[in-house]
Homo-oligomer: A and B are copies of this chain.
């Protein structure tokens, strides 16, 4: 039918897309702190934003534009432009007006920001920064680095979809994560570029479906940010499209980046997959899966590599969904430690379970034994480093 192959190039992998990162002096030590994505052709946009009622100025600005196409996304780190009111929106207008004056090819540019909340954009620095852009650059790495905040590595990926008729299209993306990660949508920024010939409506539907099982299934700290944004830009340059293949490739892109985000969660040392099955329905399974990936007591037990399954059971019970002690089963990878009322756990099993917890990634599986509802979420541990990063973030 079709083939999906991983390729290099991140957001520049799809035909006709350009990107770069520059240093505008927002971060210390001349680190890159501003990025752009530019497409030769105007793009259809699919997007999903935070559910936080205090959504940031860039999201207000985007929404106020109504229906539109764009060929340019400007992104800055270090300042979220959130809680800045109408002034924050006007700051964006000013920055984008200057940008459009500078680059005649730019059409309907949009802006996206991440960083500290409640401080006005340093407009002068940002406008100066935009003047450093080279719209013919294909520097996906530099762009991915520029949008990082407390991330310890940049996050990008790209796939090429080869269709049966010999045509093909590509999807590439970059993202930033690290903290305030409890996507709903997702406490993060993710920009996807594709040369697929896809309509806005189809792309939005596919994005909504994929988001639930990727960015909305991860948690670093249970805090949902003001700036969460996923944007998919499609410039149709390849002329090719195949809905199923597009959905599968977009899932691969977003699933990869969502997991990278958890892996790089602030202070995280482990990536844990919570498979919840046997719930009354998928929604109840999702509630449990999120409760597990959010629980401080579970997260600190992970950090301590302590197979404290009682905390897992307690979290299931506290989540509010239908659950019974005598129907619940819990396992670490394949190792079942509690089975429908049987206290299987013993000293030998404790050693075995602790070995599993030393792995950089493993799964915790909870079967509620009631019906067929299931959901998988992804979380990380919480250690000293998380406290350190978040006690000091502004300073």
Which residues of A come within 8 Å of B, CB atoms? 50-55, 80, 82-86, 116-120, 179-180, 182, 184, 221-226, 294-297, 300-301, 303-304, 306, 308-311, 313-318, 320-326, 328, 338, 341, 343, 345, 382-384, 386-388, 390-395
Cα separation A119 to B345 with both chains bound (whole Å): 9
A325 to chain B, nearest CB (A): 5
CB distance A314 to B382 under 8 Å? no
Residues of B within 8 A of A86 (CB): 341
CB distance A85 to B326 under 8 Å? yes
Residue of B nearest to A306 (CB): B394
Interface class of chain A by DSSP = loop
CB distance B116 to A310 under 8 Å? yes
Cα separation A345 to B116 with both chains bound (whole Å): 13
Cβ contact of A324, chosen from B53, B120, B310, cutoff 8 A = B53
A100 to chain B, nearest CB (A): 27
CB distance B393 to A306 under 8 Å? yes
Most interface-central of A182, A296, A315, A324 (chain B CB within 10 A): A296
* A83-B179 contact, Cβ under 8 Å, with A117-B314, A225-B314, A395-B306: no
CB distance B310 to A345 under 8 Å? no
* A223-B295 contact, Cβ under 8 Å, with A83-B310, A310-B117: yes
A346 to chain B, nearest CB (A): 10
A348 to chain B, nearest CB (A): 15
CB distance B390 to A318 under 8 Å? no
Cα separation A225 to B314 with both chains bound (whole Å): 6
CB distance B117 to A306 under 8 Å? no
A342 to chain B, nearest CB (A): 8
Cβ contact of A343, chosen from B84, B313, B318, cutoff 8 A = B84
CB distance A117 to B325 under 8 Å? no
Residue of B nearest to A267 (CB): B387
Name 4 extra pairs, CB < 8 A, besides A51-B320, A301-B390.
Answer: A83-B325, A118-B310, A224-B318, A383-B391
CB distance B118 to A343 under 8 Å? yes
Residues of B within 8 A of A51 (CB): 318, 320
* A82-B310 contact, Cβ under 8 Å, with A55-B317, A390-B296: yes
Most interface-central of A325, A382, A394 (chain B CB within 10 A): A325
CB distance B85 to A341 under 8 Å? yes
Cα separation A111 to B22 with both chains bound (whole Å): 66
CB distance B390 to A304 under 8 Å? yes
CB distance B391 to A303 under 8 Å? yes
Most interface-central of A86, A297, A320, A322 (chain B CB within 10 A): A297
Residues of B within 8 A of A316 (CB): 53-54
Cα separation A394 to B309 with both chains bound (whole Å): 11
* A296-B391 contact, Cβ under 8 Å, with A117-B311, A325-B83: no
CB distance A308 to B343 under 8 Å? no
Residues of B within 8 A of A116 (CB): 310
Cα separation A117 to B315 with both chains bound (whole Å): 12
CB distance A297 to B221 under 8 Å? yes
